[in-house]
Structure 1
C-alpha cells in the first residue's frame, strides 16, 4: 500500500462526519446529550468555573507564544507555506494575521523565482497559487502552463505527486472563469480518485474528504473542528499547534454561548414570539448565520446586531408568506416605504408590532454605526428595507394571481427577496464600509451570495419544516419557459448557474477592491453556509447543520492533560 509523502508541515484535514445530536432551532437552546459532552466542556456550561477558564487562558497564551516563535523562525519557503496552510485550516490564522501577511507579501515578491523552479516542485507552485490568490494578491493561473505537455494537457507524470495533486485540486476552486483551472479540476479529481485504491486507508479517506469538501467551498472552522476530533497522535510542533486550536475553540465557544444567550434574551424580551405566534421562533438559527459570517471573536457586538437584522427579515418574510392578506400586505409595504412612525395607524395590530420592531432595530443599528464610524447610514438602511418589502410584495402579487413570471424576472426579484443584500449591506456598514447604491448596482460580492442562496433554496429538496406558505421557485419559472426541458436538465442548469455565481464571487473576492478582508470573508462564508442551511434530507431535517451547530457551539474539543 502507498502513503502520501508529506513535508514537515503538511496537514491532512480528514473531515469524517460522525453522528450528531439533534439541535432545536427554537429560542430554547437544547444541549446535546451528556455522552456527547467531554469532561473538558466545563468552560462552556452556563456556570463556567473561573479557575478552569483561567487555566485554559494561561495555557493558550503560552502555546500562542511558542507557535508565534516557531513561525517567526521558519525561513524555508515550502515550510512557511505549509505552516500558513496549517494555521488557516485549523481556524487560528487570525491570531497570526500580521505575521502571515508579512510572509505572504514576501512570497509574492519572490514568486517568480519559485515559479521558475516550479517544474521541479509541483507541490510548492500549486500551494503558492492558492495562498496568494486567496490573500488577494494578483497571480495568474497561467503559472500552471509549465505543467502542460505538448498537447496542452496536464502531464500524466504529475499523477505520482499526490500532495501536489491535492493542492492543484484545491487551487482549481479559486476559479474566476479560467479555462486552465477547469482542466486542472478535471485532471486532479480523476487522478485523485484513481489513486485511492493504492493508498493507506487514512490517506484514502483524506482524499475522499478533499474531493467532497474542497477547502475554498467549505466553512473553515467547521472543517477544523472536525479535524481536531480525529487527530490526537501528532507530535512535536504539529501537536502544539493542534492544542492551541483546541483551546482557541473552547474560548471562542464560550463567547458564542454568551452571545447566543444574549440574543435569546433579546428576542424573548421583545415579546414578538408571544405576540406573533405564527412566525418562526428560531433565534439559534438566526445567530448561526451571524456566527458563521463573522468568525473573528472581536466582532461580538456586530454579530448581535446582525442577528437582530436577520430576525426581522425572517419575521417580515413570515408576514408575507403565512399571515397577511393581499390588502394588508399593500398597507404594510406602503408603511415601510413611507418610513414614518405615523404610518402604522392604518395597519392591523400584528403588523404594527412588526413595524415597530423594524423601525427600532434599524435606528439602533444606525446609531451604533454612527458611534463607531462617525456617520449615520439610516437613509441607505431604510432604503434596503424598502427594496426588500417591495420585492416581497411583488412576489405576493404574482402568486395571488397565479402568475408565473419569466425566470429572469423571478431571479432578479428573488435575489433581493432572499434578504442577503439587505443583511450584507448592514454588515458592510457595521464593519466601517462605505455607501452602496440600489440593488441594481450591488457588487458581485453581495449579489453572488444572494444568487447562490436563492437558487440553492429553489432547488427545492425540502421546505423549512415550520414554513407552510408557498413562495415560488426558479425551477418552476424556467421549466414553464422551456417545456421540453426535463426536471433533471433544469436542475443541472441551476447548478451551472450556481457555479457561475461562485466564479463571479471569486472574481470580486480576489480583486483589490475597496472592501475590507473581513467583509470579503463574510460574503464568502455566507455563500459557504448556504449548502449547510438548505441541505434537507428525506426526513426534512438538516443533519449537516445540526452537526455544525453541535461542534461549534455545544461540544468542546478534548484537551490533553
Structure 2
C-alpha cells in the first residue's frame, strides 16, 4: 500500500489503474481505515503528542480523517487535533493534487522507500503534460484576447490563466484536453456575465440580458440596450456554445444542451442578486443560501466539466450534475461560504448584494466572529456530504472524484480569507511552475 500511496502522491496513478484496483481489492478496506487511524494513537487511545513535532504525520492524520461522513465523532476528534497543530505551524490543510505532486517530487527522493525509476517517470510525464498544457493555454489566451477586444467589456476580470489552472486541477490528463479547454472558455464567459450584472448593467439592462439568454437565439439581440458591447457579448456567447458543439463527436453533442440550460439558470440567479442590490433588500440567510450556492458558479462548472469527458459524461452523470444535489450542492456551498468570508478582508464589489456573512449577522444579531464559527461548521458539513457521495455513488465515482478535486481547488482560490481570483497575483508562482518551468531530470 505504501507504493500505491507514493504513485498517487506523484500524480501518475492513472498509468496504474488496474494494478491499484487489484491492490485495493486485496485489502480489507475496513481494516485499512482502522489501521490508518489507530497508528496515530498511543496505548491509552489518545493521539501521540510526538505528532505535534511532525508536520508530515499531522497532515497524514488530517487527510485520513477527512474520509469522514456525518456522525463520525472519532474522526471529528482527529480533525480537530490535527488542524489545531497544523494551523499553529501554518501548514496548508487542503492540497490540490497536481500541486501536491509537483511539491512531492522534491521530497520523495529523501524518503527511505525512494525509487529513482518511479520518480523519473513522474518527472518525465509532468514535463510532457506541461508542454501540452502550455500550448492549450496559449490557444485559450488568444481566444480570450480576441473576445475581450471585440466585446470591449473592459470592466470584466481578465483571469483566463487562473481559469485554465482551475480546469487543469479537475482534468489534467492528455485525453481530456478538449474538456479542459471547453471548461476554461465557458468559465470565462460566466466570469464576464457575472461582472456584467455586478459592475456594468443597470437593473433594466440586466433584466433584458437575462431574457435574451433565456430565449437563446440571435434575434433576441434586439432586447438588449443600444450600446454595442453587450450585444456583441450576447452573440459571442451563442457562437462559443456552437463552436464547442461543433468540435464534439456526434454522440457527445447532446452534452452541450445541459450546459446551456445550466448557463441560463445561472443568469437567473445573477439577476436575482442584482434585484436585491438595486432594491436595497437584505435577504434572509436562507434566501441568500439558496441563491448563493447557485450563483457561486460551481454547480454550472460541474455540468460544464462533463462536456467532452468521454465515457465519464454519461446521461446519468449529466442528470446528476444538473440536479445540483449532494456533492454538487456542497461544492457550491463551500465556494459561496469561502468567497463571502474572504469578502470580510477585501469588501464587496461595486454592485454586490449582501453576502452570506452579512445576512447571518443581520438576521441573528450576532458578531462577525459568531457568524464565521457557524458558517465554518456548515462548511464541515458540506465536506462530509461530499465524502458521503464519493463513498456511496459508485456508478458515478469517477465524476464525483473530479468534483472533489474542484472543491479542493476552491480552497486554493479562497482559502485563508483571501480571494486570489479577484484580488492579487498570489497564484503567479504556482502558474509558472505548473505550466512554464520544466522539472530538471
User: TM-score, with normalisation over the residues of structure 1?
Assistant: 0.69
| Match of residue 99, structure 1, among 10, 19, 29 | 19
Q: Report Cα offsets for 1:41-75 as digits up to 9, x if no partner.
A: xxxxxxxxxxxxxxxxxxxxxxxxxxxxxxxxxxx
Residue 475 of structure 1 is matched in structure 2 by: 357
CA distance in 2, matches of 1:390, 1:438: 20
1:172 is displaced (CA, Å) by 0.8
**For structure 1, which runs of at least 5 residues remain unmatched after alignment?**
1-80, 119-123, 130-143, 194-206
Matched, 1:373 2:251: yes
1:317 is displaced (CA, Å) by 0.7
CA distance in 1, matches of 2:22, 2:280: 59
Residue 509 of structure 1 is matched in structure 2 by: 390
Question: Does structure 1 conserve the Cα–Cα contact (< 8 Å) formed by 2:65 and 2:79?
Answer: yes
Kindly report the root-mean-square deviation, in angstroms, between the aligned alpha carbons of the 2 structures: 3.3
Residue 427 of structure 1 is matched in structure 2 by: 305
Matched, 1:534 2:424: no
CA distance in 2, matches of 1:508, 1:107: 22
State the secondary structure of the residue aligned to 1:514: helix
| Match of residue 75, structure 2, among 162, 181, 191 | 181
Question: Does structure 1 conserve the Cα–Cα contact (< 8 Å) formed by 2:302 and 2:328?
Answer: yes
| Match of residue 331, structure 2, among 444, 449, 462 | 449
1:326 is displaced (CA, Å) by 0.8
Decide which structure has the larger Cα Rg and report it: 1
State the secondary structure of the residue aligned to 2:79: helix
CA distance in 2, matches of 1:438, 1:83: 34
Residue 35 of structure 2 is matched in structure 1 by: 126
CA distance in 2, matches of 1:210, 1:97: 35
Residue 439 of structure 2 is matched in structure 1 by: 557
Matched, 1:265 2:142: yes
Q: Report Cα offsets for 1:114-160 as digits up to 9, x if no partner.
A: x3xx8xxxxx8434x8xxxxxxxxxxxxxx69x898xxxx6148667
Residue 243 of structure 1 is matched in structure 2 by: 120
Question: Does structure 2 conserve the Cα–Cα contact (< 8 Å) formed by 1:420 and 1:449?
Answer: yes
From the superposition, tell whether residues 360 and 209 of structure 1 become closer, same or farther in structure 2 (CA, over 3 Å).
farther
From the superposition, tell whether residues 375 and 556 of structure 1 become closer, same or farther in structure 2 (CA, over 3 Å).
closer
1:505 is displaced (CA, Å) by 0.9
CA distance in 2, matches of 1:159, 1:400: 55
State the secondary structure of the residue aligned to 1:212: coil
Which structure 2 residues correspond to residues 322-337 of structure 1 after superposition, within 5 A?
322-337=199-214
CA distance in 2, matches of 1:238, 1:375: 44
| Match of residue 289, structure 2, among 393, 411, 415 | 411
Q: Report Cα offsets for 1:374-415 as digits up to 9, x if no partner.
A: 551444333212211110111101000100101111111111
Question: Does structure 2 conserve the Cα–Cα contact (< 8 Å) formed by 1:165 and 1:188?
Answer: yes
Matched, 1:276 2:169: no
From the superposition, tell whether residues 439 and 390 of structure 1 become closer, same or farther in structure 2 (CA, over 3 Å).
farther
From the superposition, tell whether residues 427 and 378 of structure 1 become closer, same or farther in structure 2 (CA, over 3 Å).
same
From the superposition, tell whether residues 374 and 251 of structure 1 become closer, same or farther in structure 2 (CA, over 3 Å).
closer
Q: Report Cα offsets for 1:186-228 as digits up to 9, x if no partner.
A: 45667xx5xxxxxxxxxxxxx88998335xx311121221232
Question: Does structure 2 conserve the Cα–Cα contact (< 8 Å) formed by 1:407 and 1:478?
Answer: yes
Q: Report Cα offsets for 1:78-136 as digits up to 9, x if no partner.
A: xxx0000011111111121121112112224xx57xx3xx8xxxxx8434x8xxxxxxx
Aligned residues: 428
